[in-house]
Amino acid sequence: MLALLEHRSIDQILLKEITDGAGLSHVTFFRRFASKEDLFQHIATQEVRNLLLLGRNALDDQGSDSPQRMCDYVQVRRKIWKTLLTGGAVSIMREEFMRISAEIAAVRRANPWLPVDLAVPFTTSGIFEILAWWMRQPEDYPVEHVVKLFDALIIENVGRPRSVSMDNPPFRH
């Protein structure tokens, strides 16, 4: 499926192409997945969850090497991530980032003063856009530059502890 997504959107891919490419029968496929969308959801969920769990500590611990670990994870799996973020399933990936980020935020928040309904889309969009931009760069684009982008755009803005009184928050309801 990932190879096919490099060239076409998920809607344009036939289940027969997936099963033929994987050397599976339809019966074998349907024992595990209900549809090609279900297969893609499984792949996307695993990749996004692994990535965001690596990054979760970055927002809690400013000195953390989580942005580096996140970038290393993506770099090692660059072909998959390039397909996921620049291929025919970008909207599904964006939704998956939001869904999993909301799950993580419900359990653990980096900055209690920041409203969760703002923190999740802001942080998630930032991570998504940085990674999608990176996947459009040449393969030899330095990972350390991407780490610096994460630090400057995400960690410094969302992860840096603030001494904000909840009696006088920086936002109004």
- Provide the pLDDT for residue 59: 52
Residue 167 lies in a domain: no
| pTM summary value | 0.76
Residue 135 lies in a domain: yes
For the domain that residue 140 is a member of, what is the CATH number?
Answer: 1.10.357.10
Per the CB < 8 A criterion, the answer to whether 127 and 105 are in contact is no
- Residue showing tokens 């350390």: 144
Residue 26 lies in a domain: yes
Q: Is the pLDDT of residue 110 over 70?
A: no
Whole domain around residue 138: which residue ranges? 2-159
Based on the structure, what is the number of domains in the chain?
A: 1
Contacts of 169 (CB under 8 A, 6+ apart): 113
Stated length of the chain: 173
Q: Give tens-digit pLDDT for 132-157.
A: 999 999 999 999 999 999 989 988 87
Interhelix angle 143-150/116-135, rounded to 10 degrees, is: 160
Residue 149 lies in a domain: yes
